[in-house]
Amino acid sequence: MKKLAKVMVLVLALCLVLPTMCFAANYVCNVVLAGQTAGASGPAYVQLTDTATTPAFSNRWFTLDTSGAKSNPMLATALTALSLARTVTVSMVATTQYSNVSAIYVKQ
């Protein structure tokens, strides 16, 4: 019983430290626009529309992984989906304007 309590405390602590892993939601979206600001170090942006029957957002701008290391591959994924007219599945904590997308996948 003590081990179970310790594991539960550890999981809750991780959720507080890494909220993206614990509270991110997935959305299936159409990519409307995708690109990067001037300069290679600028953030990449994507404009998305939720495809749900009752969309959570429409034509809203999001940033792609503001930590930087994954921004270019994520932008490439968004551009691929845009050029192939495919939907994407995105993972993010919030759906407000310029929220961060933590993962993006092209759907078949």
Sorted by where each starts, the structural domains of the chain and their CATH numbers stand as: 23-106 (2.40.50)
pTM of the full predicted structure? 0.75
Q: How far apart are alpha carbons 76 and 33 in whole angstroms? A: 12
Model pLDDT, residue 71:
77
Question: What average pLDDT is seen over the chain?
Answer: 83
Query: Does residue 31 surpass a pLDDT of 80?
Result: yes
**Token pair for residue 43?**
């953030």
Model pLDDT, residue 79:
94
Place of tokens 């759906």: 95
Place of tokens 């990449």: 44
Q: How far apart are alpha carbons 93 and 25 in whole angstroms? A: 6
Average pLDDT, integer, range 52-65? 93
